[in-house]
Structure 1
Amino acid sequence: MPTKNINFPISKSQFINFTKCSNSFYLHNQNLIEKTNTPHSGSLEWPEFINLCMSYFEHSVIIPRSLSKDSQKKETQEALENKHTIFGGYFESEEYASYIECLSPDITREGWILYDFRPVSTAKLDIIRSLYFQKRLLESLGVIISDVKLIRINSEYQMTDNLLDRDAFLITESLSEKLIKESGRFEEVWNLFLAYQTNHIFPSVDEVYPTCKSPKSCYQPDVCFQESQSYEIFDLREGHELPKKLYHMGIKTFEEIPDEELNQIQKIQKNAHVSQNTHFDSNQMSVFLEGTSETVCFLDFESINPTIPIFPNTRPFQHIPFLFSLHIWNPISDELRHFTYLHPPEEGDPREKVLKELTLLIPKNTTIFSFNDFFEKQIISDLIKIFPEHSEFWNAIHLNFKDLALPFKKFWIYSAKQKGKASLKEILPAFSETNHVGLSIREGQDANYQYLRLLKKQVTQEEKIRVLEDLVSYCKMDTFGLFVLYKMIKENLH
């Protein structure tokens, strides 16, 4: 495919794209991908987080994004000459450009401290890569960088009252040593990056430049992985680099894959795809269901996990339940009852009421099925720490949980219709007519975002009513889906 010249200046985000996939870099650089902004809970908290970080600095200048690039550069340069702390400064050379979160004069020595503000608990590699790019750019423009720092979140911080302690909540960490430690690896990638700019290939399929592993993570699979929709090998579970290797060998189907290339789970998957028969390990499933009570429960929570604590005695990123759905099934009478509790957002902290409602509804000595039950157990365990008067309830039920995701993760049950996936939303339609299609909310992250909007009063009254209804419908579908899967398993065992 004929390629066009690389567009300059190259942005920081484009460089980060290159480190993962050179094809992704080319697509973004040539503006061949439409930018999308998916709302998420972090976007609701970003202004508050940024303001907390900025409050550490005096004599600062904010460069407005509403200005033209030329005006941004001019105001940034003026702030630099006046040795003011600069927020959102725009720096550009002929080759590269980047907005800088914060650049502050170093009062202890000559130079400037390059800052990044991130609502995370650890300095992940992409953050260090971003700062590496920015440091190179600034130094190429004659700006002396004396230190590189990250202001991030202390995930161990607990807000004890309704007032946030900024200095305990935020951590300022120097990343200069980490940049030195990673310099060899970063320089190697940078040299590849330079080579690609003058000798670029699109789409790149060899291993000279970084490329993604699968069309599922590709921006334009019809270009980078031509006809990949007919290659079922990309549904291979635990495949890592293998599907890509098979793709370049011209292998499309599971039937063509040599058995010696596959582990035990992949062999189960291959047999299911080739035979089009569902794999069901009756022995493993009988063991899995040992000790299950006759009447059974199906439980699911929805939660928020705010970056900045909202309620007393909570930590950053801690999951705060605001909604649960509970189905209880008696197989003898075939009676399926549904219970739910959604905490009114205007009533504040939902935790105590959620726990109290749950204690009234879950029968004693009853098996409780959840999907990835670690989450449900962690939610209740955290609640008991705050409300120890309900410890007896937790002690009575915590051994009654069974994880209904386990049989599908372990491939004791597998259908080719799952296409290698093991999420509830993929499993349900593979074994039943039940699915999440038609729901306004289909993901836990969206439920998180929507309830946080309610707490922050960023909805109209009409929207609020609709969102509350959508939240209940979504959570109810999850527990009803668990019931459907459980019935399917029981029917296959008889």
Structure 2
Amino acid sequence: LMVRETRELLAAGARVPIFEATFEHDGILVRVDVLIPDGEGWRVVEVKASTSVKDYHVLDCAIQDWVLRHEGIKVTSVLLAHINNQFVYPGGGDYSGLLVEEDMTSAIRSVEPRVEDLIAKARAAVSGPEPNVAVGTHCNKPYDCQFVNHCWPMDAEYPVIGLRGSKKKLGEYVAAGYRDIRDVRDEAITAATQRRIHRVTCEGEPEILDGARDALAALAYPRSFLDFETIGPAIPIWPGTQPYKSVPVQWSCHIDDGTGDGSVGSLRHEEFLDLSGKAPMRELAEALIAGLGDSGPVLTYTSYEQGVINCLIELFPDLEGPLHNIIGRLFDLYPVVKENYYHPAMLGSWSIKAVVPTIAPELDYADLDGINEGTAASNGFLEAIDPGTDLVRKAELEEQLLRYCRFDTEAMVAIVNFFTN
């Protein structure tokens, strides 16, 4: 349908920009992001969400150029437009400067012989039997392959991919016939982290060292457990923000003043979430400063929260003092957990989502309805502030966002209690 519509537009003599112009030649279908009249010919503009030109963009553009020219379209130039990550949105809908255009014409014409070879290989892959290609680093370059779970052996109790580390090395294990972590010979593993994963998995029991208990028991009160949720859209929403730069929009904090038994139910809970659509960062920062007070450790899981607070300092220099006070009190649980704990079910990951189900089975992110991970939270926030979202859906998203962020801080409380009780 789109091919026919494009042909009809061109046949009618259209000399206006055409978005998603679609062409097909010899079974190869391409969609041009923008086709712009240029003298007696057409300028092709391919738009990418990346912040620079990548090697694989050259062949991408070259295939489009090849199809169009074989279909009789006079292509005067091929440009690649990508995000300018130095762009600062001034507001008022002024996005001039958001995209940078790079002329790819010479580069793509120089690789034209490779295009037909690539097309021939693609045809062979589609029409022939399943390709017999060993797994390895190429499974994730330039993108994660959609067939990773098909090609990598995932049917074992502890799949060998759970050793993590170098994909090249993991591919060698698979090529050698190993499917389960426990099958790999001791002498085949050289990296310290992988040896630890292998040893604990073979032993079949979690490793719990005293260092975590000692470090966490020494923390003073009040203890604040903090988690942020952020968005980083390619197209900034609020003045002063940049493409892809993380902007905090929500936080949750459980506060243990030391007077209770340390359970989540005995802790005070503070949170912030504004779904009005207006820039929330100032109110978020002020609420954070008020909620965390000026004393006691602020526990996080990874150093991400420090980066978020630094972002707030950049946005609001007048709040630098109290925000720096919070940074000075940050205590990262991640290195403490990684150094002192491993459970075979974590499959080589010390992410909070991998750790918590092994120490508090009742806290499993998979059990959360709707939003249960960071990208979903970011997308959920953007959907919630969209004027087109109805009130019922907005209320549903608000409940899910609050629950998910609160779940993260509850998980941190569970981690501390696990090691200290």
| TM-score interval for Structure 1 and Structure 2 normalised by the shorter chain | 0.7 to 0.9
Equivalent residue letter for 1:343: L
Match of residue 78 from structure 1? 11
Residue by residue over 1:432-462, the C-alpha shift from the partner in whole angstroms, topping out at 9 and shown as x without a partner, is: 1222213321012112112212222222222
Q: For structure 2, list consecutive stretches of 5 or more residues without a partner in the other structure.
A: none
- 8 Å contact from structure 1 (residues 268, 411) kept in 2: no
Match of 2:358 among 430, 433, 436: 430
Match of residue 259 from structure 1? 186
SS state at 2:120 partner: helix
Match of residue 400 from structure 1? 329
Residue by residue over 1:250-283, the C-alpha shift from the partner in whole angstroms, topping out at 9 and shown as x without a partner, is: 2222232123332111100001110012123445
Q: Given the alignment of the two structures, is residue 482 of structure 1 paired with residue 409 of structure 2, yes or no?
A: no
252 and 170 in structure 1: CA distance in 2 versus 1, 3 angstrom threshold: closer
Distance in structure 2 (CA, Å) of the matches to 1:435 and 1:350: 30
SS state at 2:44 partner: strand
SS state at 1:453 partner: helix
Moved more, 347-356 or 125-134: 125-134
SS state at 1:302 partner: strand
Match of residue 228 from structure 2? 301
Match of residue 23 from structure 2? 91
Moved more, 84-93 or 476-485: 84-93
352 and 92 in structure 1: CA distance in 2 versus 1, 3 angstrom threshold: same
- 8 Å contact from structure 1 (residues 88, 100) kept in 2: yes
Equivalent residue letter for 1:94: D
**TM superposition shift of 1:413:** 1.9
Count residues in correspondence: 412
Match of 1:112 among 42, 45, 53: 42
Residue by residue over 1:375-418, the C-alpha shift from the partner in whole angstroms, topping out at 9 and shown as x without a partner, is: x222222222332332221222212212222345x554211011
Distance in structure 2 (CA, Å) of the matches to 1:382 and 1:136: 45
Match of residue 197 from structure 1? 123
Match of residue 157 from structure 1? 87
Distance in structure 1 (CA, Å) of the matches to 2:136 and 2:2: 31
195 and 310 in structure 1: CA distance in 2 versus 1, 3 angstrom threshold: closer
Distance in structure 1 (CA, Å) of the matches to 2:109 and 2:410: 53
167 and 347 in structure 1: CA distance in 2 versus 1, 3 angstrom threshold: closer
Match of residue 53 from structure 2? 123
- 8 Å contact from structure 2 (residues 254, 269) kept in 1: yes
332 and 180 in structure 1: CA distance in 2 versus 1, 3 angstrom threshold: farther
SS state at 2:167 partner: coil
SS state at 2:416 partner: helix
TM-score by length of 1: 0.74
Match of residue 253 from structure 2? 326
Structure 1's consecutive aligned runs of 4 or more residues displaced over 6 angstroms after TM superposition are 208-211
280 and 144 in structure 1: CA distance in 2 versus 1, 3 angstrom threshold: farther
Match of residue 169 from structure 1? 98
338 and 471 in structure 1: CA distance in 2 versus 1, 3 angstrom threshold: farther
Distance in structure 1 (CA, Å) of the matches to 2:62 and 2:390: 43
Match of residue 299 from structure 2? 369
Match of 2:319 among 366, 370, 390: 390
Moved more, 380-389 or 96-105: 380-389
TM-score by length of 2: 0.86
Equivalent residue letter for 2:253: L
195 and 373 in structure 1: CA distance in 2 versus 1, 3 angstrom threshold: closer
**TM superposition shift of 1:210:** 10
**TM superposition shift of 1:134:** 0.8
- 8 Å contact from structure 1 (residues 323, 340) kept in 2: no
Distance in structure 2 (CA, Å) of the matches to 1:134 and 1:357: 51
Distance in structure 1 (CA, Å) of the matches to 2:277 and 2:15: 48
291 and 174 in structure 1: CA distance in 2 versus 1, 3 angstrom threshold: farther
**TM superposition shift of 1:155:** 1.7
Match of 2:391 among 458, 461, 464: 461
138 and 416 in structure 1: CA distance in 2 versus 1, 3 angstrom threshold: same
**TM superposition shift of 1:211:** 6.8
SS state at 2:97 partner: helix
